[in-house]
Amino acid sequence: MSVIAKNYLYDLPEDILVLIYKKAFKATLKEIEDMRETLDNYDRLVEYIKKNHYDPYKTRAIWSIMLCYRRDVGDPYYKYFLHYADSETDFLRLNKQKMCRYNPAYSSIKYLDFPIYPIKERITAESYRDVKKILEKYTSIYLSNYIETVKANEKEYVREYLNIKRLELCDNKIRIEYVDTVVFKCSIDIYINILETYNFIAKIFKILNIYNNLYPRYNLEFMNDLGDLREWFNYNSFFCGFTISDTSDSGDSGDSGDTLLSRFYSARYT
């Protein structure tokens, strides 16, 4: 009699073995999938930066986080970066490992704020009420129709706005609330979402502006105030970074919290 017990695992059918391996290595596979998604998002971000430069006839979020000081790269490399490097994406390339690293603090993020001028102080209370109503209501309608379109065209349609739950206009910011299933894993996820969300809001402004021009008889005072907000938002399109705070304490800029505070300016800022 053999003292070595037979391993019957390899006698099982192939489909059963696959299920066993998937169960045994589930956590490892999840880590690999998450890293693959992160690297894909990194490539998307680099591609976005390369394709979207400043264009006065096209409103898009412009990446404006660049290396500009010797301390950013160190003396030995400064001359190289000054004369030969790619100023648009070197910040990403030098910080790739750090920006792709998982950060559990990001998983609590539920909101994204775009600071604006104190709109309630510059327009009438009635106009603010109407601007808030049409911007929030139309965004809700657009997102609802968008989701239905995605469901009807599962493979063909771009799925870039499914993470947005709603938009809220406040006195000094436009707030985006994300759906509950959104989980940010790293800085790359955050960068991609801020750029795409800015472009989403710009699209909403553009549609409302087109509607106002097509039907001038509805060109009410509040639509002019909405147009002023649109122009201001479009003008401040240079993305320069973000901080994180908590909705209960907007002054906190630490690494934990549920709210992203985006920084956009009207010109390239370093």
Q: What is the pLDDT of residues 100-144, one digit of tens each?
A: 999 999 999 999 999 999 999 999 999 999 999 999 999 999 998
Examine the pLDDT at 72 and tell me if it is beyond 70: no
The domains of the chain are located at: 103-265
Please state the φ and ψ torsions of residue 263, each to the nearest 5 degrees. -120, 115
Examine the pLDDT at 224 and tell me if it is beyond 60: yes
Q: Where are the beta strands (DSSP E) in the chain?
A: 62-63, 111-115, 164-169, 173-178, 238-245, 259-265
pLDDT tens-digit readout, 249-260: 544 444 458 999
**pLDDT > 90 in the chain, percent:** 45
Predicted structure pTM score:
0.78
Residue with tokens 């001359």: 79
Cβ 42 vs Cβ 188: under 8 Å = yes
Examine the pLDDT at 168 and tell me if it is beyond 90: yes
Examine the pLDDT at 162 and tell me if it is beyond 70: yes
Examine the pLDDT at 217 and tell me if it is beyond 60: no
Band of the pLDDT at 31, cuts 50, 70, 90? Answer: low
The 3-state DSSP class for residue 216 equals helix
